[in-house]
Amino acid sequence: MVALYYSSQLSVVGSVLHSTAIICTIFRLVYRGWMHHLWWEDAWAALALTADVICLACIWVDSVISSWILTIAFTTVLWAARMSVIFSIIPIANHSGSKIHKWITTLVVVCFACTWTALLIQKISICEYHSCRMGKSVAVSLLITDIIADITLVVVPLYLLQTIGHPRSSMILVQFAFGASLLVPAFTIPHSALLLLNIYNTNTLMFAHIKAALSLIVCNLLVIVAFLYRVYLKDTSNVNQPLPSSGVLTSIIVIPIGGSTNALTSLSLQDGITSRQVKSVGWRDEVEE
Higher pLDDT, 71 or 180: 71
- What's the pLDDT tens digit per position in 52-67? 999 999 887 766 567 7
3-state SS class at 253: strand
- Bridge partner residues of 261 (DSSP): 256
What are the φ and ψ backbone dihedral angles of 286, each rounded to 5 degrees? -115, 110
pLDDT value, residue 81:
95
Give the number of residues written for the chain. 289
What gap in Å lies between CA 62 and CA 78, rounded to an integer?
A: 22
CA-to-CA dists, residue 160 to 77, 110, 185, angstroms: 25, 18, 23
- Prediction pTM value: 0.78
pLDDT value, residue 65:
61
3-state SS class at 254: strand
Task: For the chain, report the end-to-end CA distance as a whole number of angstroms.
Answer: 60
- What's the pLDDT tens digit per position in 162-198? 766 555 544 566 666 777 778 888 898 898 898 888 8
